[in-house]
Structure 1
Amino acid sequence: MIRTTASALAYLVSSIVAGLVGLVWSLAIIVGVGLLSITLAGGPAFLGAAWVTRRLADLERHRAGWVLGTAIAAPYLPIEGATVRQRVSAVATQPATWRDLAWLVALFPLGLAGGIAAIVVTVVDLAAVVAPAWAWAVPNPRAPFPMDPLMTTMPGRFGLTVLGVLLLPVTAWFLRTAGLAQARTAQVLLAPGAHRYLVEETTRLAQTRRRVVDAQAAELRRIERDLHDGAQARIVAAGMTMALAARKLPTGAAAASDVDLARRQLDDALTELRRLVRGIHPPILTDRGLHAAVAALAGDSPLAVEVRGDPDDRYPPAVESAAYFVIAEGLANAGKHADARSCVVTLARTADTVTVTLADDGQGGADPSGSGLDGLRRRVEALDGQLTITSPPGGPTVLSAELPH
């Protein structure tokens, strides 16, 4: 309480000086840059003025943090451009540039009013508390009632002390309220606004799109490689075996062994194709939903897997597909790399989010930037979701994916 009140008082009092500096600087750059704008020095002058203005605004964000508890985040976007003209355009098109200037101008009346009020209220209250120490030195025989008995008599002076102590909570409340109101006003102008959010969101979506395209290309290459090296090779071998058997039949040579071999090769090819289809999109996921597909994964897993969630709950197809592959990769990693013996898979749903959580009892130490987990992250981010991994050395590992639906 005392600390927050002292911080609010320091903020309000220092705003008098900060407001004066901000007003003088604002007028100087408006006039100076305005006059230089018709010359070749206009661009560099504008960039230099913007740099200093941003430093002053950063100081204001830090000062507001005395009251808010944390400094206001900077709203600036990176300045790009090879020429002065391009850099001037990059700075001038950022709303934060002009909001900084608006706050430096508005700070003067706000800081002057708040600072003077804070000084007067604080001085009057503290003076009343210590009235017995000084009131005797300023006698005033013409003081009106009730100031005359309060200032000129000992009981009156101690009465002022009692009154001042009783008003200390009110004074502290006023200082905190006034300081918070001014800091909130600063936050409105100096905090990151919708422009920065939209730019950052656009950049994030562009990066996510590139990652999704890369992931899809890698998936297509994997499917092509599996078809070429797996099922296709087995089918070709079966065809060659059948051709060999066909050549033996007219000569009366035994071809039964070749036919049996061809049949086994075709069976292996069919198994490989089914495995590949399950890797692309398992049919059970479409037919019976995510819970049933995960239960099938759990049955094939060497781990003891417990599946929690509503078996009858269905989700959008894209969400089910992404969640399925997150779980499949998580179970594979738990058994292959973490030496886990058991795993709990939880499927939870809120109004707008599906949360998939895998918790194993393995040794931990998973690398969140590894290729397998990075592929999962791309798949989740493609749906504007978020993948988090907690895997301290010694375990346990918790893999969580939040998918909007």
Structure 2
Amino acid sequence: MLGAVMAVAELPFVVLSGVSLLLVLAWPRGRRAVLRPVTAAVRTLTEANRRRLRIYVAADTSASYTDRRALEYLSLRWALGLLGALVLVAVLIGAVYGTLWLYAWLMVADVRHPGTVLMSSVAGLFLLFLSLQGTFGVAGLEAKLARRCLGPSPHEQLELRIAQLSSSRAGVIAAVNDERRRIERDLHDGVQQRLVALGMLLGRALRSKDEMRADQLLRQAHEESRQALTELREVAWRVYPTVLDEAGLRAALETVAERSAIPVHLDYGMDRDPETAVATVAYFVVSEAVTNAVKHSGAGLITVRVAQGEDGVLVHIEDDGAGGADSSGSGLFGLARRVAALDGRFRVDSPAGGPTIITAELPCA
């Protein structure tokens, strides 16, 4: 509607500007005098369109466009505005005819041609459907035109890409350091303590002169060695699961589901495994999300979906817990940096009361 209203102002402006510039084409001083107000009006109208598209269409435009590009944009934009107006008229006509049967039977006591009323209603609903689809088409054309005429220049795109790569590189380094600290903490608090206890038990068994006491200490030492081996396997699994290389992403995710203390429903919709880097990040996203849900959510069921998206692999994890997950926490923030390293998108939606939904798209360059 706003685009149609703005087209009413843009069309006469473009026509009058074109005629005015044509009249002073061979007169430099007059051309400059006409260009100043025309350029100011072009900027005003273009900025209004940029705000409209940024709010409703999320079109990617740049503020560094030239006056010539802005004038080119307006000289084409008014046609889309009028097309949008025609689509809106079609929506209204379709809505009126689509509900014809309703007020025909409510307001008219004797309907003489019910078949005609029914056919008109069906045709109106069909027109309403087509015109509503047309609104999406007009919005798409608006976004494409804005990107073509007002989009960022190649230099700006390169600067943005450099900034993204610098940020993702720093994120990868930080994620690697965080992972090293976590491994060190797991080894120090778990495996190392078990080995210390094992050494103490073996020392006491060697010094003991009571055979029964020594046998009891050896049994305790054997149990400690089993626990240490289990914890060491857990640490190795969290560092990198060998099943991911040996059997693929699906088998690795099935193992995560089997090891979870909360039931996990896995919906794997990939025809073939993605490349190693993408599969690794997808695995760690699911593994960390499931671990967080088990520790903090109080959920009764976790649903994991892995499917082929438009731009790559789509990973969706949802739990029915209490919600309130902190996306800036170390775990989820580390996952966001892993995903960003592949030019992916990572989103956490966890309102109070739940559910918590974590989505990752890999990659989305």
TM-score w.r.t. length of structure 2: 0.64
Which residue identity lines up with residue 61 of structure 1 in the other structure? T
- Gap change, CA 1:341 and 1:351, over 3 Å in 2: same
Structure 1 CA distance, aligned partners of 2:310 and 2:254?
24
- Change over 3 Å in CA distance of 1:270–1:65 after alignment to 2: closer
Q: How does 1:183-262 map to 2 (within 5 A)?
A: 188-248=148-208, 255-262=214-221
RMSD after superposition: 4.4
Kindly, what percent of the aligned residue pairs are identical? 36
User: Contact 2:302–2:317 at 8 Å: present in 1 too?
Assistant: yes
Q: What is the deviation of 1:275? A: 0.9
SS in 2 for 1:394: coil
Query: Which ranges of structure 1 fall in alignment gaps of 5 or more residues?
Result: 29-52, 77-95, 115-180
Residue by residue, what CA displacement relative to the aligned partner does 1:331-353 show, whole Å, maximum 9, x if unpaired? 23333333221122112125751
CA distance in 2, matches of 1:275, 1:67: 53
1:75 pairs, out of 50, 58, 62, with 62
- For 2:151, the aligned partner's letter is A
> Match for residue 288 of structure 2?
329
Task: Return the match for 1:59 from 44, 49, 66.
Answer: 44
Does the 8 Å CA contact 1:54/1:100 hold for their aligned counterparts?
Answer: no
Deviations 1:32-71, CA, capped at 9 Å, x for gaps: xxxxxxxxxxxxxxxxxxxxx9987642423556998979
Taking a change above 3 Å as real, the CA distance of residues 312 and 242 of structure 1, as seen in their structure-2 partners, is farther
- Give, in whole Å, the separation in 2 of the partners of 1:26 and 1:371: 61
User: What SS does the aligned partner of 2:245 have?
Assistant: helix
| Alpha-carbon separation, structure 1, partners of 2:213 and 2:196 | 22
Distance 1:11 1:274 in 2: 69
Q: SS state of the match for residue 337, structure 1?
A: helix
- Please say if residues 11 and 63 of structure 1, whose CA atoms lie closer than 8 Å, have aligned partners that are also in contact: no
Contact kept? 2:257, 2:263, Cα under 8 Å: yes
| Residues 97-141 of structure 1 deviation map (CA, whole Å, 9 limit, x = unaligned) | xx5254479899x79xx9xxxxxxxxxxxxxxxxxxxxxxxxxxx
Larger radius of gyration: 1
Report how far residue 377 of structure 1 moved: 0.9
Between the aligned partners of 1:339 and 1:55, the Cα distance in structure 2 is 59
How many Å apart are 1:317 and its aligned residue?
A: 2.4
Task: Show structure 2 runs of 5+ residues with no match.
Answer: 22-27, 79-140
Cα drift, residue 398 of structure 1: 2.0
State the aligned residue count. 291
User: For the structure 1 residues 351 and 396, does the alpha-carbon distance in structure 2 shift closer, same or farther, using more than 3 Å as the test?
Assistant: closer
CA distance in 1, matches of 2:30, 2:58: 23
| Residue 174 of structure 1: aligned partner | none
Is 1:361 the equivalent of 2:348?
no
Cα distance in 2 for partners of 1:229, 1:353 equals 39
